[in-house]
Chain A
Amino acid sequence: MSNGHTRAEHFPGPLHHPPLTSGEARKHHVPHEHHPKLQHHFDSMDQQLEASTLGMWVFLVTEIMFFGGLFMAYLLYRWANPTAFQEASAHLSKGWGAINTVVLIVSSLTMAMAVRSAQTSAKPKTQVMWLVLTMVFGAAFLGVKYVEYGQKFHDNLVPGPHFVWTGQYPAGAEIFYSLYFCMTGLHAIHMIIGLGIMTVIAIMAWRGSFDARYYTPVEVGGLYWHFVDIVWIFLFPLLYLIGAHYGAGH
């Protein structure tokens, strides 16, 4: 260490400095060239990318737990009111739900293409095209959701003092719609945040920030986008499809 302080000779400290293991040291300490996007506290671009992707994975774990509380509530109340949930679910539009499912899956594909185009140093225009396509599908999803929510308001299916249910199980149906709005609402908020992230990434891509050496934001944004899609893959059957056979098999 350059400050040259001394320590008891019999007990060498945990540090030894470069000359001892110079090969290793070079590899870690002197990056071959300093990439402009390399932040000061990382030793290499690889370390930086690995840290960012791990960070996003850890964040997605917290997201799973965040939605997990809602899924727990769903499990409990569906177990307590099985028929009421079917009756309430039958009133959701399976058509809109299915269209939105397809829209989101396609958006996952375009997102994957956006990541790939950055990894392979495709032209900024190509990268931006895939990102914008992803955003278009995301916006389409939200548009459909807006139509659906509008219908629910119109039909007085929003829980609270104005909730009206003409079926057999008004109490259970109200709980179902509470969960429906909480779960799809939280999902929609995540979609909106996703669109914000995509906008930033698209601007960066337009400026030519990404190539095979540096594509961390696209990669990390893509992980987030896929996660939000997967949440919907669970929400769709749990909310829209459980009522498919209501009244038929009983």
Chain B
Amino acid sequence: MEMTLAAPRVDYLNVRHTVASWLLTKDHKRIGIMYLVVVTIAFFVGGLFASLIRLELATPAGDLVSSDTYNKLFTMHGVAMVFFVLIPAVPAILGNFVLPLMLGAKDVAFPKINLLSWYVFVIGFLFTLYAMITGGVDTGWTFYTPYSSRASSTNVMMTGIGVFITGFSSILTGLNFIVTIHRMRAPGMTWFRLPLFVWAHYATSLIMILGTPVIAITVLLVAAERVLHMGIFDPALGGDPVLFQHLFWFYSHPAVYIMILPAMGVISEIVQTFSRKNIFGYSFIAFSSLAIAIIGFLVWGHHLFVAGQSVYAGLIFSFISFLVAIPSAIKVFNWTATIYKGSVALDSPMLYAFGFIGLFTIGGLTGLFLSAMGLDIHMHDTYFVVAHFHYIMVGGAIMGYLGGLHYWWPKITGRLYSEFWARIAAGLVFVGFNLTFFPQFIAGYLGMPRRYHEYPPELQVWNVMSSAGASILAVGYSLPLVYLVYSLFAGERSPADPWGSRGLEWEIPSPPPTANFEVTPIVTHGTHQYAPSKEVGVV
């Protein structure tokens, strides 16, 4: 290794150690780490609520908490996880850190706005935390009107403000990424040489900038109705509550793709590296990201099949929802084809990638059940839905995030973690996850509704399995916190490219210097070149 010099190399971590050098940094790498800290806190806050939910549901009687408290628990679990973990996890942490490196850029296009978006995020999180601590909120993370705008006496406004503010952090991140990808690519980094992680983030950013403003105005309108008694959604004031559902899901369905698309980008990187093969069907994966982003905007009505929406509208929404399966399947098939006959290394990132591919497939296929109008009437608001979206969001997005965190950890920190413990954690997460959520498909199919803290005794066996799985999952999620933090102090130093990834971000030392590249690089072909180049659009 080259790291035998007497003086330690100056990198972005050791260049300065003061608190101010972190809080006022404009370095995308440091901002990524600051997001990592806040998102990790939010993850364990949300996880705490989830644990209490599973504890309550271990017995059929509502014996641990009151039904009001239970309403608050699942609401705050949803709010914390959706807005403060799933949406920012991959883009704001890994995307912030890696995306400029992948482009050969010194930073994102607007470093000050990048720092601003972190502060906006933290302020939104503090508002939400304050709402949680001072009594909580019980509307469900969906804030359906008129309950949220008229009836609920909990901290709806405070939570709404938190979500509203956080939305701007998401918008600013998306804006920064789009401009960065357009304008900051190094010479020679053509669109079809971009790592697929970048394509996924481009698609994600489109959703962030197009969808997030709509939830922002919707929350504002709920506030206008709740505080100023202006009639917008409340039927008593002449409004239409279904309009709220349309506006809400116009953002919140695409928001699912904000969560899953970046994770898909991570998987595309990991699968190539640990199969030692170029991706199969590069342009199909790239364009399927865009297709998911575009089609994803046209399916929101499948959340309203039982809300009095016209059957014809439902029919079209149902059909378009089926269409999303196509680009999703393209990705799964292409990853599988990439792994096929590769020389596969079962390192921890790859274990998460395998987990992702399997669990996302189950989550996607059960989504087809729910986009079929007839079947949805049976399954609507049951645990089948809960299981379905947890397969996508936890089995998909969180698996992808953990895979990416393990994959880039040596680059981010310059340290190697214990691969032994990492594999054990990945195994625990996979087993715990399936034990938690697979029984929920069955309980839901048998008719167990979501959002109740009591249930008939014959459903107990499924719920006990689920709660047992949640305990394993909790251990699986806590382990990385231990061995990753431990690696910071005692981990072996990482070389520039510990996995043999052959990507632009692996060309520079670990951890990278503040300026990333001493000289703007000239790129002559795409990433992960394990075989002679067969590029699109290049002779």
A and B interact: yes
Establish whether residues B529 and A13, one from each chain, have CB atoms under 8 Å apart when the complex forms: yes
B217 interface neighbour in A11, A21, A24, A66, Cβ under 8 Å: A66
Q: State whether A14 touches B106 (Cβ < 8 A).
A: no
Residues of A within 8 A of B509 (CB): 3, 5
Cβ–Cβ contact A14 & B518, under 8 A: no
B238 in contact with A15 (CB, 8 Å): no
Residues of the B chain whose Cβ atoms lie less than 8 Å from the Cβ of A24? 187, 522
Chain A interface SS verdict (over half): helix
A15 to B1, CA, bound (A): 20
A171 within 8 A of B: yes
Question: Do A66 and B213 touch (CB < 8 A)?
Answer: yes
CA distance A8 to B153 in the complex (A): 65
Give chain B interface residues in 478-511, CB to chain A under 8 Å: 495-497, 502-504, 507-509
Q: Please give, as numbers and ranges, the residues of chain B lying within 8 Å of A68 by CB-CB distance.
A: 213-214, 217
Q: Which of A172-180, A205-213, A226-234 contacts B (4 or more CB under 8 A)?
A: A172-180
In the complex the two chains form, is B106's CB within 8 Å of A51's CB?
Answer: no
A80 to B525, CA, bound (A): 57
Besides the contacts A14-B521, A14-B525, A174-B238, what 18 more A-B pairs have beta carbons closer than 8 Å? A5-B509, A13-B502, A15-B521, A17-B522, A25-B519, A39-B111, A54-B179, A55-B110, A58-B179, A62-B209, A72-B243, A159-B228, A171-B238, A174-B237, A178-B231, A178-B232, A182-B220, A182-B224
Report if A50 contacts B (CB, 8 A).
yes
Q: Chain B's nearest CB lies how many Å from the CB of A149?
A: 14
Beta-carbon contact of A62 and B212 below 8 Å: yes
Given known A11-B530, A24-B187, contact A174–B504 (CB-CB < 8 A) = no
B211 interface residue, CB < 8 Å from A? yes
8 Å CB contact of A72 from B228, B247, B495, B527: B247
Judge whether B507 and A69 touch: CB under 8 Å: no
Partner of B106, one of A17, A41, A76: A41
Name the CB-closest residue of A to B518.
A2
Q: Is the CB of B221 within 8 A of A73?
A: yes
Contact assessment for A41 and B111 in the assembled complex, using a CB-CB cutoff below 8 Å: yes
Residues of chain A lying within 8 A (CB to CB) of residue B239: 175
Interface residue ranges of A143-164 to B (CB < 8 Å): 159-161
Binary per-residue interface labels of chain A (37-54) against chain B in the complex, 1 for a CB within 8 Å, 0 otherwise: 001110100010011001
As a 0/1 sequence over residues 67 to 80 of chain A, the CB contacts with chain B under 8 angstroms (1 = contact) are 11110110011001
B240 on the A face (CB < 8 A): yes
Given B108, B228, B508, which contacts A1 in the complex, CB threshold below 8 Å?
Answer: B508
Set B175, B232, B237: member contacting A55, Cβ < 8 A? B175
Indicate with 1 or 0, residue by residue over B171-204, a CB within 8 angstroms of chain A CB atoms.
1000110110011101100000100000000000
Partner of A69, one of B179, B187, B218, B503: B218
Contacting residue for A16 out of B193, B228, B246, B522, CB 8 A? B522
**Could you say which residues of chain A place their CB within 8 Å of the CB of B9?**
3
Minimum Cβ distance to chain B for residue A220 (Å): 11
Q: Is B109 an interface residue (CB 8 A)?
A: yes
Chain B interface residues toward A at CB < 8 A: 1-2, 9, 105-111, 113, 171, 175-176, 178-179, 182-184, 186-187, 193, 209-214, 216-218, 220-221, 224, 228-232, 237-240, 243, 246-247, 495-497, 502-504, 507-509, 515, 518-527, 529-530
Q: Of the candidates A11, A14, A28, which one forms a contact with B526 in the assembled complex, judged by CB atoms under 8 Å apart?
A: A14
Q: Give the B-binding residues of A (Cβ under 8 A).
A: 1-5, 7, 11-18, 20-21, 24-25, 28-29, 39-41, 43, 47, 50-51, 54-55, 58-59, 61-63, 65-70, 72-73, 76-77, 80-81, 159-161, 171-172, 174-175, 178-179, 181-182, 186
11 A-B pairs whose Cβ atoms sit less than 8 Å apart in the complex: A1-B508, A1-B518, A5-B495, A15-B522, A51-B110, A54-B183, A55-B175, A58-B175, A72-B247, A73-B232, A178-B237
For B232, what are the chain A residues with a Cβ–Cβ distance below 8 Å?
73, 175, 178-179, 182
- Inter-chain contact A51/B526, CB cutoff 8 Å: no
List of B residues within 8 angstroms of A12 by Cβ = 529
Q: A65 contacts which of B178, B214, B229 (Cβ < 8 Å)?
A: B214
Central interface residue in A12, A73, A160, by most chain B CB within 10 Å = A73
Beta-carbon contact of B243 and A76 below 8 Å:
yes
Q: How far is the CB of B203 from chain A (nearest CB, A)?
A: 14
| Residues in B whose Cβ lies below 8 Å from that of A58 | 175, 178-179, 209
B521 touches A160 (CB 8 A): no
Q: How many A-B residue pairs have CB under 8 A?
A: 177
Q: How far is the CA of A62 from the CA of B211 in the complex (A)?
A: 8
A76 to B243, CA, bound (A): 8
Given contacts A15-B523, A69-B213, contact A160 B230 (CB under 8 A): yes
Q: A235 to B507, alpha carbons, bound, how many Å?
A: 53
For A62, what are the chain B residues with a Cβ–Cβ distance below 8 Å?
171, 175, 209-210, 212-213
Least Cβ–Cβ distance between B534 and chain A, in angstroms = 14
Complexed CA–CA distance, A62 and B231 (Å): 25
Residues of B within 8 A of A65 (CB): 209-214
- B109 and chain A: residue at smallest CB distance: A51
Beta-carbon contact of B214 and A15 below 8 Å: no
Shortest CB distance B165–A (Å): 14
Q: How many angstroms between the C-alpha atoms of A4 and B508 in the bound complex?
A: 10
Q: Which residues of B contact A25 (CB under 8 A)?
A: 187, 519, 522
Find chain B residues with CB under 8 A from A17 CB: 519, 521-522
Asked whether A14 lies within 8 Å of B523 as measured between CB atoms, the reply is yes
A67 touching B109 in the complex, CB below 8 Å, given contacts A43-B520, A182-B230 = no
- Assess the A160–B228 pair: CB atoms within 8 A: yes
Q: Are B221 and A182 in contact (CB under 8 A)?
A: yes
Alpha-carbon gap, A207 to B496, bound state (A): 47
Q: Are A3 and B2 in contact (CB under 8 A)?
A: yes
A205–B221 CA distance with the chains assembled, in angstroms = 38
Q: Are B238 and A14 in contact (CB under 8 A)?
A: no
Closest to B183 in A: A51
- Which residues of the partner chain A approach B183 to less than 8 Å between Cβ atoms? 47, 50-51, 54
Q: How far is the CB of A90 from chain B (nearest CB, A)?
A: 19
Whether the Cβ atoms of B229 and A159 lie closer than 8 Å is: yes
Q: Which of A15, A43, A51 contacts B504 (CB 8 A)?
A: A15
- Check B502 against A11 for contact (C-beta < 8 Å): yes
Task: Determine the distance from Cα of A50 to Cα of B183 in the docked complex, in whole angstroms.
Answer: 7
A27 → B minimal CB distance (Å): 8
| Alpha-carbon distance between A69 and B237 when the two chains are bound, in angstroms | 19
Q: A1-B508, A51-B183, A161-B229 are in contact. Are A59 and B520 (CB under 8 A)?
A: no
What residues on B are CB-neighbors of A21 within 8 Å?
187, 522
Residue of B nearest to A63 (CB): B213
Tell me the nearest residue of chain A to B26, going by C-beta.
A41
Tell me whether B497 and A7 are in contact (CB under 8 A). Answer: yes
